[in-house]
Chain A
């Protein structure tokens, strides 16, 4: 068997092995690449950066455990940035699974990294409410119609940060972070467009192409998958160097992802080369 035949008939398990190694080795060696934020990511960073202290930001965590690896790095980076700018952060979710993830985010980032921020004054966790896009439709007319209490059962009117909030138009920015429906699209259609409220988002890589048509008019910016998260983290480090030593899962995950993609592309190129060689051989054999 010639070298060409061996390549042509390569066992697919060898390809799986290469992919596994291309993920495992960069993870073990902590291989990372320099990230540079593109305009679609840069827009989100600039928008948050431009908001004056005390501006209200609504963070809607509309995802479940299956999309945590992609979405959570974005959430952490956005929470850090919002707090650095002294913005008022309102957590909520359109997905029931989002409530636990919101609590984890509040405990692991908001409380742990910003202990000086006070619950009810600087941030609030409103939790999950049923209704999907119907919920957004209620919130745009009256926030307190659905959110009568926060997740702890405290009456909304007793929470300082909620006092000036009437409806969604009271927010300076809506950040939708999600991997499905309801999600960013619903925030654009039922809140951003009718209420003229700036909407930005973060979603899984497979969802991003469906949302690009809304950018830049209806959607101010979008973090698409791990790449989007890594770009945002790099922008945060550039402007706030103290985060250089903090865990940056987006940047860390981009190393294995980039190398695995290169390996896949190499196999595609090899496959195409063998295909053309074989075809030319067949042609020659036919002529002979």
Chain B
């Protein structure tokens, strides 16, 4: 009987410790830099790639690169009530001082889950940030005989502790929508799908951080 009580107490204490760790995983950071996500398109049916205007897609990619990370960053910064500082692209560029460092920041953090410790410490020092959010965004195009064409967005993120270069917290999110042929050709649907996903993703992220979305 006594042994059982001790065991239950130990389990309770360890679960408290574990939950505290999860929370402190993200809220323990005072400053977090948002790195541009790595973006790629997947065509499960090779014919689908013929329908997509490749030039337009690459333009979209650049826009997505710039817009998504910045949008996420600005929203998080606005909702964070100042307890965590989010460094958006302009601020990162400013702190890194030159274009080459910004290129290196992209090169070493783009889509990574582990960063070389020496390099990540260097960025921590130059950015005056303890963490960085790295991410990967995949647009998957596929066709189903019954319901037509679809796009599925898969987003995976890692909060890298820049002091160790290792991922502290990570997660993923995916969302799919049905599309028409003309929408696919226009390339606009990437945004429709992406916006729908990013809205929910930001909500999820804000909850994770412990911030209240409602103002």
Contact = CB atoms under 8 A, between A and B. Distances in A.
Interface of A: 96, 99-100, 127-132, 134-135, 137-138, 141, 145-146, 148-149, 151-153, 155
A127 B114 contact: yes
Q: Which of B110, B113, B158 has the most CB of A within 10 A?
A: B113
B42 A152 contact: no
10 contacts: A96-B113, A130-B172, A131-B40, A131-B154, A137-B43, A137-B140, A138-B41, A149-B107, A149-B108, A153-B104
Contacts of B46: 141
B31 interface: no
A149 B115 CA distance: 12
A99 B166 CA distance: 11
**Main SS of chain B's interface residues?**
strand
B107 A130 contact: no
Interface string B103-128: 01001101111101001000000000
A104 to B, nearest CB: 13
A153 B119 contact: yes
Nearest to B42: A137
Nearest to B106: A148
Interface of B: 38, 40-44, 46, 104, 107-108, 110-114, 116, 119, 135-136, 138, 140, 154, 156, 158, 167, 170, 172
B67 to A, nearest CB: 20
A134 B42 contact: yes
Contact of B154 (A96, A99, A134, A141): A134
A145 B40 contact: yes
Contacts, number: 66
B111 A129 contact: yes
A130 B108 contact: no
Contact of A146 (B38, B104, B114, B119): B38
A152 B116 contact: yes
Nearest to B114: A99
Q: Which of B38, B40, B119, B154 has the most CB of A within 10 A?
A: B40
A138 B141 CA distance: 11
Nearest to A98: B113
Contact of A155 (B107, B113, B138): B107
Contacts of B42: 131, 134, 137-138
A152 B40 CA distance: 21
B60 to A, nearest CB: 15
A138 B139 CA distance: 10
Nearest to B157: A130
A131 B113 contact: no
Contact of A130 (B41, B111, B116, B140): B111
Nearest to A135: B138
Contacts of A100: 114
Contact of B110 (A96, A137, A148): A148
Given A134-B154, A146-B38, 4 more contacts: A130-B172, A151-B114, A151-B116, A153-B119
B188 to A, nearest CB: 22
Contacts of A145: 40
A138 B107 contact: no
A65 to B, nearest CB: 14
Given A96-B167, A152-B116, A153-B119, A134 B38 contact: no
A7 B59 CA distance: 77
Nearest to B46: A141
A151 B44 CA distance: 27
A211 B90 CA distance: 50
Nearest to A100: B114
A127 B134 CA distance: 15
A105 B110 CA distance: 24
A138 B170 contact: no
Contact of B111 (A137, A146, A151): A146
Contacts of B119: 153
B43 A148 contact: no
A128 B113 contact: yes
B114 A153 contact: no
Nearest to A99: B114
